[in-house]
Protein backbone atom coordinates (compact mmCIF):
# COMPACT_ATOMS: atom_id res chain seq x y z
CA UNK A 1 0.00 0.00 0.00
CA UNK A 2 1.23 3.51 -0.75
CA UNK A 3 0.03 7.07 -0.21
CA UNK A 4 0.72 10.18 -2.28
CA UNK A 5 -0.02 13.80 -1.39
CA UNK A 6 -0.43 16.77 -3.70
CA UNK A 7 -2.29 14.83 -6.40
CA UNK A 8 -4.33 16.68 -9.04
CA UNK A 9 -7.09 15.42 -11.34
CA UNK A 10 -6.41 16.08 -15.01
CA UNK A 11 -8.44 15.44 -18.11
CA UNK A 12 -12.17 15.61 -18.51
CA UNK A 13 -14.19 18.64 -19.52
CA UNK A 14 -14.10 20.61 -16.28
CA UNK A 15 -10.92 21.59 -14.44
CA UNK A 16 -10.78 20.40 -10.83
CA UNK A 17 -8.82 22.89 -8.70
CA UNK A 18 -8.71 20.62 -5.63
CA UNK A 19 -5.68 18.69 -4.41
CA UNK A 20 -5.99 15.09 -3.21
CA UNK A 21 -4.32 12.47 -1.05
CA UNK A 22 -4.33 9.18 -2.99
CA UNK A 23 -4.07 5.69 -1.51
CA UNK A 24 -3.05 2.81 -3.77
CA UNK A 25 -3.49 -0.77 -2.62
CA UNK A 26 -2.48 -4.00 -4.37
CA UNK A 27 -3.86 -7.40 -3.44
CA UNK A 28 -0.71 -9.50 -3.34
CA UNK A 29 -2.37 -12.21 -1.28
CA UNK A 30 -3.60 -15.60 -2.42
CA UNK A 31 -7.34 -14.89 -2.21
CA UNK A 32 -9.78 -12.09 -2.91
CA UNK A 33 -11.16 -9.90 -0.17
CA UNK A 34 -13.60 -7.01 0.08
CA UNK A 35 -12.56 -3.44 0.86
CA UNK A 36 -15.14 -2.17 3.33
CA UNK A 37 -13.86 1.26 4.36
CA UNK A 38 -11.12 3.87 4.20
CA UNK A 39 -10.52 5.88 7.33
CA UNK A 40 -7.91 7.90 9.11
CA UNK A 41 -6.46 8.50 12.54
CA UNK A 42 -4.34 11.34 13.85
CA UNK A 43 -1.96 11.13 16.80
CA UNK A 44 0.00 14.02 18.28
CA UNK A 45 3.07 12.04 19.37
CA UNK A 46 5.22 9.13 18.26
CA UNK A 47 4.39 7.30 21.48
CA UNK A 48 0.65 7.56 20.87
CA UNK A 49 0.99 6.62 17.21
CA UNK A 50 3.29 3.61 17.47
CA UNK A 51 2.90 2.27 21.00
CA UNK A 52 -0.66 2.93 22.13
CA UNK A 53 -2.58 3.24 18.83
CA UNK A 54 -5.79 3.22 20.84
CA UNK A 55 -6.70 6.82 21.54
CA UNK A 56 -6.25 9.06 18.50
CA UNK A 57 -6.82 12.78 18.85
CA UNK A 58 -8.98 12.53 15.74
CA UNK A 59 -10.52 9.66 13.77
CA UNK A 60 -12.51 9.89 10.54
CA UNK A 61 -14.04 7.94 7.68
CA UNK A 62 -13.72 8.91 4.02
CA UNK A 63 -17.23 8.31 2.72
CA UNK A 64 -16.59 8.06 -1.04
CA UNK A 65 -12.89 7.41 -1.63
CA UNK A 66 -13.18 5.78 -5.06
CA UNK A 67 -16.11 6.72 -7.32
CA UNK A 68 -14.99 4.24 -9.99
CA UNK A 69 -14.39 1.41 -7.47
CA UNK A 70 -17.18 1.97 -4.95
CA UNK A 71 -16.99 0.50 -1.47
CA UNK A 72 -17.73 -2.29 -0.67
CA UNK A 73 -15.32 -3.35 -3.42
CA UNK A 74 -14.37 -6.94 -4.27
CA UNK A 75 -10.58 -6.86 -4.28
CA UNK A 76 -9.37 -9.74 -6.44
CA UNK A 77 -5.84 -11.18 -6.31
CA UNK A 78 -3.43 -9.13 -8.40
CA UNK A 79 -5.76 -6.15 -8.65
CA UNK A 80 -5.17 -2.52 -7.72
CA UNK A 81 -7.53 -0.15 -5.89
CA UNK A 82 -7.10 3.63 -5.68
CA UNK A 83 -8.93 5.78 -3.16
CA UNK A 84 -8.73 9.54 -2.77
CA UNK A 85 -9.54 12.20 -0.19
CA UNK A 86 -9.49 15.99 -0.40
CA UNK A 87 -6.15 17.30 0.79
CA UNK A 88 -7.56 20.00 3.02
CA UNK A 89 -5.62 22.42 5.21
CA UNK A 90 -6.60 20.24 8.20
CA UNK A 91 -5.10 17.13 6.56
CA UNK A 92 -1.87 18.99 5.77
CA UNK A 93 -1.66 20.37 9.30
CA UNK A 94 -2.15 16.92 10.87
CA UNK A 95 0.56 15.43 8.61
CA UNK A 96 3.00 18.22 9.53
CA UNK A 97 2.35 18.45 13.27
CA UNK A 98 1.93 14.83 14.23
CA UNK A 99 1.28 11.37 12.86
CA UNK A 100 -1.55 10.99 10.36
CA UNK A 101 -2.46 7.52 9.10
CA UNK A 102 -4.91 6.35 6.46
CA UNK A 103 -6.32 2.91 7.18
CA UNK A 104 -7.79 0.50 4.64
CA UNK A 105 -10.32 -1.88 6.19
CA UNK A 106 -11.30 -5.19 4.61
CA UNK A 107 -13.83 -7.92 5.26
CA UNK A 108 -11.16 -10.07 6.89
CA UNK A 109 -11.49 -7.78 9.91
CA UNK A 110 -8.73 -6.75 12.20
CA UNK A 111 -7.27 -3.28 12.59
CA UNK A 112 -6.88 -2.68 8.86
CA UNK A 113 -3.78 -1.81 6.85
CA UNK A 114 -2.18 1.41 8.09
CA UNK A 115 -0.01 3.83 6.14
CA UNK A 116 1.42 7.12 7.35
CA UNK A 117 0.65 10.29 5.43
CA UNK A 118 3.83 12.35 5.25
CA UNK A 119 3.65 16.14 5.04
CA UNK A 120 3.37 17.43 1.48
CA UNK A 121 6.60 18.87 0.12
CA UNK A 122 6.74 22.47 -0.93
CA UNK A 123 6.75 22.53 -4.70
CA UNK A 124 8.68 25.02 -6.76
CA UNK A 125 6.58 27.36 -8.87
CA UNK A 126 7.11 26.30 -12.48
CA UNK A 127 6.62 29.90 -13.65
CA UNK A 128 9.56 31.18 -11.60
CA UNK A 129 13.07 30.94 -13.07
CA UNK A 130 15.29 28.39 -11.33
CA UNK A 131 18.79 29.37 -10.21
On whether residue 124 sits in a domain, the answer given is: no
On whether residue 67 sits in a domain, the answer given is: yes
The mean pLDDT of 43-49, rounded to a whole number, is: 93
User: 15: domain range?
Assistant: 2-117
Asked if pLDDT for residue 125 goes beyond 70, the answer is: no
Of residues 112, 95, 126, the one with CA closest to residue 21 = 95
The mean pLDDT of 72-89, rounded to a whole number, is: 96
Of residues 102, 100, 87, 96, the one with CA closest to residue 25 = 102
On whether residue 35 sits in a domain, the answer given is: yes
DSSP classification of residue 129: P
What total of structural domains would you count in the chain? 1
On whether residue 122 sits in a domain, the answer given is: no
Of residues 3, 20, 22, 29, the one with CA closest to residue 106 = 29
Give percent of the chain above pLDDT 90: 76
Which CATH number do you get for residue 14?
2.60.40
pTM of the predicted structure, to 2 decimals = 0.87
Measured over all CA atoms, what is the biggest interatomic distance in the chain, rounded to whole angstroms? 52
Amino acid sequence: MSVSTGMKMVGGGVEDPRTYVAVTALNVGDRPTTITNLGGMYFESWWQAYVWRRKPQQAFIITEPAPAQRIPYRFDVGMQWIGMADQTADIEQMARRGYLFLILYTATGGRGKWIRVRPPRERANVNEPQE
